[in-house]
Amino acid sequence: MSTTDTSNSVSNSVLTSLQKKTDTTNANTGTAGSALGKDAFLQLLVTQMQNQNPLDPQDNGEFVAQLAQFSSLESMQSLNSSVNTIVSSFQSSQALQASSLVGRSVIVQSDTTEVDTSKGMTGSVNLSSSSTATSVGVYDSKGALVRTLDLGTQAAGAASFTWDGKNGDGELAAAGKYTFKATATINGVATAMTTNLPATVNSVTMGTNGGEMSLNLAGLGSVALSKIQSIGI
């Protein structure tokens, strides 16, 4: 009497069946990929053992190797579950932090911002080199020059300036959106410089799929959190 080893054919049959089930599940759930999970792996292993040739059983070393693969697969899935939990906790923490930012003032590199002229505002000019003549022009929403702030000679770095909200005639300007254009004379050449201006946080947009959180600033729109230089009261 001869005994036929049917483990390979049976395993292939089971693998095909499991593959079809996996593909059907992915099609129904809209998920991509066709990787088999640990349950399918274990079912294949048991099927191999049940259908092995009793006169030529599976080698112990191969069996141990398959068990090791199963253990490794289970560990990877547990790790993936733990990472997902950490990500969920991080997003919850982000949401809590975001709620505390609404209504607060932040400093961001920009040339435009909303100004409550009754309170005035303070900003700064980013100077790449020392300047012999530094000035900041304040323009209204129509592009008309409202005031020129003379900062004089400044060293390289951030040169602070303050606008009291008044125009060149000493009258209080209307509240609204204003543009600040900074100019510095470096080595005898007038050069445009960037400015850092305050803005109020109106709302916060949470990042999706691990993306960065962004702040919706009054008069500026959406700005990534990493672009914020400082947060005030």
Residue 110 lies in a domain: yes
**Residue 210, pLDDT score:** 62
Please write the tens of the pLDDT for every residue from 173-205: 999 999 999 999 999 999 999 999 999 998 888
CB atoms within 10 A of CB 129: 12
CATH number at residue 212: 2.60.40.4070
Using the structure block, give the residue that is written with the tokens 């899935």.
77
| CA distances (Å), origin 200, targets 53, 148, 190, 232 | 76, 24, 32, 10
SS3 65: helix
User: From CA 104, how far away is CA 156, in angstroms rounded?
Assistant: 29
Do 73 and 118 fall within a single domain?
A: no
**Domain edge (last residue) among 49, 66, 99:** 99
**Residue 231, pLDDT score:** 82
Looking at every residue in the chain, the average pLDDT score rounds to: 79
Which distant-in-sequence residues (6+ apart) come within 8 Å of 138 by Cβ? 145, 146, 147, 148, 149, 163, 178, 179, 180
**Residue 32, pLDDT score:** 46
Query: Does pLDDT of 228 surpass 50?
Result: yes
User: From CA 7, how far away is CA 13, in angstroms rounded?
Assistant: 10
Do 68 and 144 fall within a single domain?
A: no
Query: Does pLDDT of 87 surpass 50?
Result: yes
Do 83 and 116 fall within a single domain?
A: no
Average pLDDT over residues 91-103: 74
**Residue 3, pLDDT score:** 44
Query: Does pLDDT of 41 surpass 90?
Result: no
Q: Does this model's pTM top 0.95?
A: no
| Of the candidate ranges 26-35, 102-111, 114-123, 132-141, the one whose mean pLDDT is the lowest | 26-35
Do 112 and 147 fall within a single domain?
A: yes
Q: Which helix (H) or strand (E) holds 137?
A: strand 131-139
Residue 2 lies in a domain: no
Range of the domain at 145: 105-231
Do 29 and 143 fall within a single domain?
A: no
Do 113 and 211 fall within a single domain?
A: yes
SS3 207: coil
**Residue 125, pLDDT score:** 95
Total domains in the fold of the chain: 2
Do 196 and 138 fall within a single domain?
A: yes
Residue 22 lies in a domain: yes
User: From CA 112, how far away is CA 98, in angstroms rounded?
Assistant: 23
Do 148 and 168 fall within a single domain?
A: yes
Do 14 and 122 fall within a single domain?
A: no
Question: Concatenated DSSP letters for 18-54?
Answer: HHHHHHHHHHHHT-------HHHHHHHHHHHHHTS-T
Helix/strand/coil percent split, the chain, to 5: 35, 35, 30
Question: Concatenated DSSP letters for 149-192?
Answer: EEEEEE-SEEEEEEE-SB-TTSPBPPSEEEEEEEEEEETTEEEE
Query: Does pLDDT of 4 surpass 60?
Result: no
User: From CA 230, how far away is CA 6, in angstroms rounded?
Assistant: 70
Confidence band (pLDDT; 50, 70, 90) for 172? Answer: very high
Do 122 and 23 fall within a single domain?
A: no
Do 86 and 162 fall within a single domain?
A: no
Do 80 and 111 fall within a single domain?
A: no
Residue 173 lies in a domain: yes
